[in-house]
Amino acid sequence: METENKEFLVEGAKTFGIHCDQKAVEAFDLYLKELLKWNQKINLTAIRSENGMVLKHFLDSLSVHPYLPKYSSILDIGSGAGFPGIPLKIVQPTLEMTLIDSVRKKIDFQRHIIRTLGLKGIDAIHGRIQDKVILQNFRGRFDITLSRAFSDLRTLLLLSFPFLKEKGMVIAMKGKVYNHEMKHFVETGEIPYRFQKTIFLTLPFSSFKRSILLYEKQQV
């Protein structure tokens, strides 16, 4: 990673209250190198530049960090090339992280990164969140389900429900959202969650707008 991009990562992380020490910077550097290398052979991400990956993958992933309790168990749904789960694990090793994606090559890459970085307390699972075996193995296990891959909020809420502990949280990472989308499902009682809040933010040193939506699971 170029020096200016390392500085960009460190300074950007500070805006989310994160101190990236030398070990974390080295982990992100290796992650980026492997992502660039693998991306030449298999399509992991449409973003090709170092700076773009630091901003739109690493820093975007870290934007949710302030809303994660230190010892949370987290299910990252549709984790792609490891986002946001692996960057969050790098900066907060106490998180228990499970990544799931339906594309085998992306899981292969995630497992490669996990091994390469020597990360503990993190697993990458190949499958779909709807699969019966996945549900049987992970029902009621997580404090938080997290995703930046789902465009359909209703589907994310529905699919997350059985995986969450009582009063567990769904955290949806999205671009621009509208008030009716944020509250509609829970206000109608269609889905048993309590809408907590939306955090609007701009990625560091850019004009890219993001939204983080928080929902709490309610008893049926």
User: What pLDDT digit, counting tens, does each position of 56-70 carry?
Assistant: 999 999 999 999 999
pLDDT confidence bin for 137, thresholds 50/70/90: very high
Domains in the chain, start-ordered, CATH in brackets? Answer: 67-217 (3.40.50.150)
**pLDDT cut 70: percent of the chain above it:** 95
Rounded CA gap, 177 and 64, in Å? Answer: 16
On the question of pLDDT at 189 being above 80, the answer is no
pLDDT at residue 183 in the model: 62
Q: What is the mean pLDDT of residues 167-173?
A: 95
On the question of pLDDT at 151 being above 90, the answer is no
Q: Give me the residues paired with residue 194 across strands.
A: 216
What is the pTM assigned to this prediction? 0.95
pLDDT confidence bin for 9, thresholds 50/70/90: very high
On the question of pLDDT at 181 being above 80, the answer is no
Residue 43, both tokens: 């399509």
pLDDT at residue 187 in the model: 60
pLDDT at residue 152 in the model: 85
Q: Return the HEC string of 92-136.
A: CCCCEEEEEECCHHHHHHHHHHHHHHCCCCEEEEECCCCCHHHHH
pLDDT at residue 190 in the model: 73
